[in-house]
Every structure is written in C-alpha cells, then in structure tokens.
Amino acid sequence: MTVIAADRPHSHEGLHDPLPAPLERLLRQAAYDHAVNDARRLFTPQLHIGVPGRPHFVLPADIAADRTVRTDAIAAMLERSRADGVTRPLCWLVRPGGLDSWLTALESDWLAAARTAYAEADERLVFVLVSRRGWRDPRSGLGRTWERLRAR
C-alpha cells in the first residue's frame, strides 16, 4: 500500500512524546470519562472544550454543517472556558469506534474549525479523538490505548 504524503499526520503539528505528565493525565481522564459515562455502543459524536474530569462544554458534533458556525461555536465555548478560569482549555472529539482509522469528514471539519478558533484566541490547540479505549491526536498520530481503563 502506498501512503500519500497528504494522508500522513503532520509531524510538526499536534502532540509529541514525551508529553507533560499533567497533560497525559488529562487525556487519560477524557478516555476514562467517556468509557464510564457513555455505556451506549452507538451515539452521536460530541465535541468537548475545557478540562476532562471537570465541568466543561459539550456540543453534538453533527449539528453544524458550516465551517463558520463550527468555528464560532468553538470560539464561544473557548471564550466561556477562559472566563470560567480555565487557562488551557483542551478540545476533544468523542466518537464511537476505534482510533486506528483516518479522519472522517466530520472530524476533519471540526479540526479545521478548532485550528481557526484557537489561533484567533491565541491559544495552543490540543485536539484529540477519544474512544472508550484511548485517545489519538490526528495531526501527529500520537495516542494511547488501554485494554481496560480504571479509576486512579
């Protein structure tokens, strides 16, 4: 199989090892929260802005078909998170299925909107896809998976 360069994760963007321990814990918390709180197998993907394990903003990811609306929604959630005292709000997209597939159109659309909103807010973007078994940064390909997540 031939991999086209455009299909490869962008190595200069996204998360890279070694991750700071606090960020590693937050990303694990996002996967754990999803595994514990959403027992359904099929559900609507959701976009989260804030800090895993704490109150944060959630938006059904299939509600906005327009890039401007998606960007404005993220910008509003980001601004509200910062107003609530969150200094580095994360952005994660919870979805059904595994993490080994390439980005779907929905995920790619939300990533593009998040890039724009975070750049306009002069924030560093941490954007990951989250499943019941782990997380993955679609830009760098870095991720973590667990057989069974347990509370710490």
State the CATH number of the domain containing residue 101.
Answer: 3.40.140
Mode of pairing for the β-strands spanning 134-136 and 127-131: antiparallel
Residue 100 domain-assigned (yes or no)? yes
Model pLDDT, residue 96: 81
Domain assignment present for 7: no
State the residue for tokens 């700071």: 20
Q: pLDDT class for 152, splitting at 50, 70, 90?
A: low
Q: How many domains does the chain have?
A: 1
Where do we find the tokens 């989260």?
48
| Rounded Cα distance, 16 and 140, in Å | 7
109 in any annotated domain: yes
Domain of residue 28: give its range.
22-145
pLDDT of residue 3 exceeding 60: no
Tell whether 11 is covered by a domain.
no
Mean pLDDT calculated for residue range 68-77: 95
Is there a domain that residue 8 lies in? no
Q: Identify the pLDDT of residue 41.
A: 62
pTM for this entry: 0.87
Q: Is residue 150 part of a domain?
A: no
Residue 17 lies in a domain: no
pLDDT band for position 147 (50/70/90)?
confident
